[in-house]
Amino acid sequence: MIASMLALWELILLMLSNLFSRLAGAKLLPPPPPPQPSTAVAGSSLACDASYCLSWRVAVETNNAQGWRTVPARCVLYIESYMLGGQYDRDVETAVECIVGYADGLVVGDDGMDAWVLDVDDTCLSNLLYYQGKQFGGAPFDPTAFKSWARRGICPAIPQVLILYKKLLERGYKVFLLTGRDQETLGATTTSNLILQGFIGHERLFMRNRTYRGQGAVAFKSTIRKQLVAEGYRIRGNVGDQWSDLQGDCVGDRIFKIPNPMYFVP
Amino acid sequence: MIASMLALWELILLMLSNLFSRLAGAKLLPPPPPPQPSTAVAGSSLACDASYCLSWRVAVETNNAQGWRTVPARCVLYIESYMLGGQYDRDVETAVECIVGYADGLVVGDDGMDAWVLDVDDTCLSNLLYYQGKQFGGAPFDPTAFKSWARRGICPAIPQVLILYKKLLERGYKVFLLTGRDQETLGATTTSNLILQGFIGHERLFMRNRTYRGQGAVAFKSTIRKQLVAEGYRIRGNVGDQWSDLQGDCVGDRIFKIPNPMYFVP
């Protein structure tokens, strides 16, 4: 009785959230063929998946789950619903509320050395439009296709993070953007993409130049942060959608995780 | 239209999950009076809460939200449903699957110095029965009442963590239990509670003795872990339900967060 109640509410949740996600996503891409949960077995399986995939997503966000290469096949529909159905936006909003609450509580020195470090991809700029064509992370990472996408320079701002960015600047913090994107091939488009989307007034944009090619994200980003600290900056906060943005040396006084269940950068 | 769809499915989710949680929880405590979502306004508010509270819970699990003293009033019902309705159990299970996957992939040395550190409260032993009487964290922390509860020595094992514990011992790891509980007043009952629940065969149980009274969890637990490392142990993993279990010095090669949205230990 209890098990069937659980299956029922999870099934209703998944079906309605999926319907909603299709309504919300209709402007972006033609909807994929609808799922066919026409039998009790399929319903029970979907219900089981909804619970499993929520647990999986929390494991990703807490960094319990590491080194995964694709979203589990049974969770692709769930992640689509999550990303397009409103909960992802709500989660980003809540993360930003935590950041603003913390940043507002600090005294910003008048020496101009209080700094924040923000990641770019899926922190400032959204790649959701790209990942819609890659099963929301259900398909393996395709470096060539991703580079083509990034070269177009049309990644939209994540609106809540743009608001945060402007608040940090208004409060007198220096903002540094730090991305693993390749400087040589993506430097110009990334710079213009950021400006077009309103990310104006940051102190510097650090990209991966030849020196750092082939280095992991933790090593590369640690080196840059150490450089900032050596210059005298106090990194008061560090914001990224990957744990590799937030680990290593000189991570900052506080780290904040922006949700991203679509890919894992080691 | 989209907004009302969203409100509808979240409302259905909350009502059914709440009903389920009451069914599941009926054996433990008499059910509180049912909510009265009889108007559109109440329904809309409940729907908004379900989305908000899921975001809040993820912010807690990622450590974006810190220093909170109680579960937000609007999330008490949600956390009750989460803890009793099956999703908490699923989340613990998924965390444990991540830990076992990692632990199984390591080569355990034959010198007996590969170690794991596990927290006790709401990692090995569950305080859920106690927190059922404290609005699942909606009521402020009550140190006297909690001590009375802990003195009874009847905390049940968290089953998935007990399985993990036994697997770690079988694989040849040394397991150290590390808790902020007071040695003098809770030493005997904690030891017997752990044994009665099957946590047998750990190398040592570290509790807070007089030396560490008044110290924060991070400082106290760091000191003990440093001591283990000084003794030559390699801390391969560290498991806790609080981020303060997992931060500071010598945290271990990997840290794992067990879900707990009911309280925050700084």
pLDDT in tens, B69-84: 999 999 999 999 999 9
Q: How far apart are CA B248 and CA B220, in angstroms?
A: 10
The stretch A126-151 carries a mean pLDDT of 98
Q: Is residue B262 part of a domain?
A: no
Strand partners, A41: none
**Domain closes at, from B23, B49, B84:** B84
Q: How far is A195 from chain B (nearest CA, A)?
A: 28
Q: What is the CATH number of the domain that holds B230?
A: 3.40.50.1000
* CB-based contact, A95 to chain B, within 8 Å: yes
Q: Is residue A126 part of a domain?
A: yes
Q: If we measure between CA atoms, which residue out of A223, A111, A65 comes closest to residue B99?
A: A65
Judge whether residue B35 has pLDDT over 80: no
* CB-based contact, A93 to chain B, within 8 Å: yes
Tell me, yes or no, whether A146 and A217 share the same domain. Answer: yes
Q: Is residue A123 part of a domain?
A: yes
User: In the block, which residue shows the tokens 């498991």?
Assistant: B239
Judge whether residue B146 has pLDDT over 50: yes
Q: How far apart are CA B100 and CA B157, in angstroms?
A: 18
Q: How far is CA A128 from CA A160, A215, A238, B70, B182, in A?
A: 15, 26, 22, 35, 49
Tell me, yes or no, whether A118 and A219 share the same domain. Answer: yes
**Domain closes at, from B58, B84, B110:** B84
Tell me, yes or no, whether B98 and B222 share the same domain. Answer: yes
Give the phi and the psi of residue B90 in degrees, each rounded to 5.
-65, -40
Q: If we measure between CA atoms, which residue out of A255, A117, A129 comes closest to residue A193?
A: A129
* ipTM confidence score: 0.86
Confidence of residue B43 (pLDDT cuts 50, 70, 90): low
Q: How far apart are CA A127 and CA B234, in angstroms?
A: 40
Nearest to B64 among A51, A90, A98 (CB): A98
Q: Is residue B263 part of a domain?
A: no
pLDDT in tens, A7-18: 344 434 444 444
- Please list every residue in chain B whose beta carbon sits closer than 8 Å to the beta carbon of residue A23: 1-2, 5
Identity (one letter) of the amino acid at B138?
G
- Please list every residue in chain B whose beta carbon sits closer than 8 Å to the beta carbon of residue A1: 23
Q: Is residue A97 part of a domain?
A: no
A174: helix, coil or strand?
strand
* CB-based contact, A257 to chain B, within 8 Å: yes
Judge whether residue B31 has pLDDT over 50: no
Q: Is residue A102 part of a domain?
A: no
**Domain closes at, from B65, B84, B103:** B84
The total number of structural domains that make up chain A: 2
pLDDT, residue A48, reads 76
Contact assignment for B9 to A1 by CB distance below 8 Å: no
Tell me, yes or no, whether B16 and B125 share the same domain. Answer: no
Domain housing A227: 107-257
pLDDT in tens, A197-232: 999 999 999 999 999 999 999 999 999 999 999 999
pLDDT, residue B44, reads 67
Tell me, yes or no, whether B204 and B99 share the same domain. Answer: yes
Q: How far is CA B105 from CA A110, B99, B100, in A?
A: 50, 10, 8
Judge whether residue B149 has pLDDT over 60: yes
User: In the block, which residue shows the tokens 């506080």?
Assistant: A254
- Calculate what percentage of chain A has a pLDDT beyond 70: 83
Judge whether residue A38 has pLDDT over 90: no
Burial class from Cβ neighbours inside 10 Å (0-12, 13-18, 19+) for residue B3 reads exposed
Tell me, yes or no, whether B118 and B48 share the same domain. Answer: no
CB neighbour list of residue A47: distance below 8 Å, 6 or more residues apart: A6, A7, A8, A10, A11, A14
Q: How far is B38 from chain A (nearest CA, A)?
A: 20
User: In the block, which residue shows the tokens 């069937």?
Assistant: A4
Lateral strand order in the sheet of A204-208: A204-208, A174-182, A114-118, A234-240, A254-257
Tell me, yes or no, whether B64 and B192 share the same domain. Answer: no
Reading phi first (left if > 0) and then psi (alpha if -120 to 50, else beta), residue B248 is in: left
Tell me, yes or no, whether B46 and B12 share the same domain. Answer: yes
Judge whether residue A102 has pLDDT over 90: yes
Judge whether residue B24 has pLDDT over 70: no
Judge whether residue A35 has pLDDT over 90: no
pLDDT, residue B14, reads 41
- Calculate what percentage of chain B has a pLDDT beyond 70: 83
Tell me, yes or no, whether A151 and A58 share the same domain. Answer: no
The stretch A166-194 carries a mean pLDDT of 98
- What is the DSSP code string of A104-160? HTSPPPTTS-EEEEE--BTTTB--HHHHHTTGGGTSPP-HHHHHHHHHHT-PPB-HH
Q: Is residue B195 part of a domain?
A: yes
Tell me, yes or no, whether A13 and A118 share the same domain. Answer: no
The stretch B37-50 carries a mean pLDDT of 65
Q: How far apart are CA B170 and CA B201, in angstroms?
A: 10
Judge whether residue A2 has pLDDT over 60: no
Tell me, yes or no, whether B204 and B142 share the same domain. Answer: yes
The stretch B156-160 carries a mean pLDDT of 98
pLDDT, residue A43, reads 65
Q: How far is B164 from chain A (nearest CA, A)?
A: 15
Q: Is residue B264 part of a domain?
A: no
Contact assignment for A65 to B98 by CB distance below 8 Å: yes
Q: How far apart are CA A257 and CA A265, in angstroms?
A: 13
Q: If we measure between CA atoms, which residue out of B221, B255, B23, B260 comes closest to residue B127?
A: B260
pLDDT, residue A160, reads 98
Confidence of residue A31 (pLDDT cuts 50, 70, 90): very low
Confidence of residue A46 (pLDDT cuts 50, 70, 90): confident
Using CA coordinates, name the residue in chain A closest to B81: A6
Tell me, yes or no, whether A170 and A224 share the same domain. Answer: yes
